[in-house]
Amino acid sequence: MEIDKDLAARQEARVLCRQAENAQKKLRTMTQTQLDAITAAMAKAFENANAELAELAVRETNFGNVEDKMVKNRFAAVTVQAAIRDMKTVGILKETPGLWEVGVPVGLIAAIVPSTNPTSTVCYKAQIALKSGNAIVFSPHPKALECTLRAVRILEQAAVGAGAPAGSIGCLSLASMAGCQELMAAPEVRLILATGGPAMVRAAYSSGKPAIGVGAGNGPAYIHHSADLGHALECILKSKSFDNGTVCASEQSIVIEKSMENAVRQEAQKRGFYFMNQEEAGRLAKLLFRPNGALNPEIVGKTATFLAEKAGFSVPKGTKILVAREQEAGPTRPYSMEKLCPVLAFFVMDSEDAVLQKAIEVLTHEGSGHTFAIHAADEAVIRRFALQIPVSRFLVNTPAALGGIGATTKLFPALTLGCGAVGGSSSSNNISPMDLINIRRVAWGREQPSVDNDLVERIAAKILERLG
């Protein structure tokens, strides 16, 4: 008899949640030392499997490249582990006279995994979950099922070997929307950690459970006339070509003033930027999005040369980024939206005021609350823009893809980037273990002030005198 896949996926989600809830009961009694040993073992095992997982992810999804996937995996294992190693997340976190703060795990976490970062996201989310005493069950993307399952199995085995209860880390083996919905709605789940497309994030927030979701990235990069132009373009090149543009924090457009246009074009062309003419840009635009407005998965994580060839035009050898001139933002302007490939919009404005307004316009259309990059030496302009641009990550003189996740900045190293209320997210943080705990506050009563009975009697007498 043929088994209904959706029913099987729902049943699997229920079983995994029950197992994880049992594991959660044990995890929440563990000490910080025990949890730290578990996450350290997980990170080490994942790092040892780095190359295998990167190759598997690229082969299965056909997104990005192995070398950069390995950088992401190492970031998730080594950099994240270093950041959380000495972090206090459970037990008494802080003691002040009359007030204690106690870290309490939120409970079982349902985690959605994107196809663009299917292994690194698993390592990162599993570490921050168990570091804070929480069990976690993953829902993989159908295009990345095999590599996500492999990553989870490696982490699960390492965790159990280091003392974690069985069931602490689980993963749906049947990737389907039905299974994912069952997981998010499961009574055992206390929090949803959603990284994925807009529809998936909306589903997480509509589940009736507390959720931390990620909005779309669509970050502009402003090159100010005070910037080191060569450094700015190298940052953008490194960022936008990293893993073929699949990091949501990567730049989606360059915005400059008219006086900078010739210099920017000349310097950019030397570095592998190709400025498409109107016909070429029109051809590529037809490939970027489907008629319903959804991003075409066939262009995600592909190289600039592949995209040009697919669109029917040729580019010079060594081309790494395709650039299209644009002036407007909106649903009929594909270059003004998030493009998870090495393609940029190029906005040329008449003044700094116009640049500011255009950046806000782009982000208001898509990407509110996510990321903005500025390249400038003038602190006054940095301060001006920082006070007005509606983002949670305002990056200065750094590659946005790497700066946004905390690899080249002092931001917490994370692969889930909150967009705040303006972006429809419950948090504006780079999500850390501290976002996965509740704080129990133990508060002592204050001493009551002594009462001056003579003063009370005098006041009462005056009141009676006025009334009489």
Residues with a known catalytic role: 248
CB 223 within 8 A of CB 256: yes
Residue 404 and residue 392 in contact, taking contact as beta carbons nearer than 8 Å: no
The bridge status of strand 99-105 relative to strand 91-96 is antiparallel
382, 409 Cβ separation under 8 angstroms:
no
Would you list the DSSP string of 123-159? HHHHHHHHHTT--EEEE--GGGHHHHHHHHHHHHHHH
Both tokens assigned to 21: 């809830």
Q: DSSP readout, 432-455? A: -GGGGEEEEEEEPPPPPPP--HHH
Q: Which two tokens stand for residue 404?
A: 């946004």
3-state secondary structure of 382: helix
**Helix then strand then coil, % of the chain, to nearest 5:** 50, 20, 35
248 closest CA partner among 128, 390, 369? 369
Residue environment code for 222-251, b if the CB has 16+ CB neighbours within 10 A, otherwise e:
bbbeebebeebbebbbbbbbbbbbbbbbbb
List CB contacts of 414: < 8 A, sequence separation 6 or more.
80, 124, 405, 406, 429, 430, 431, 432
In angstroms, the Cα distances linking 355 to 181, 222, 228, 236, 348 are: 42, 8, 18, 18, 8
Q: Which H or E element spans position 321? A: strand 321-325
The amino acid sitting at 337 is M
* Strands 343-349 vs 369-375: parallel, antiparallel or unpaired: unpaired
State the residue for tokens 């990550």. 393
DSSP letter at 79 equals: I
Give the C-alpha separation, 378 to 375, whole Å.
9
Which of helix, strand or coil describes residue 170?
strand
Name the CA radius of gyration of the chain, rounded.
26
**Under DSSP, is residue 107 helix (H, G, I), strand (E, B) or coil?**
coil
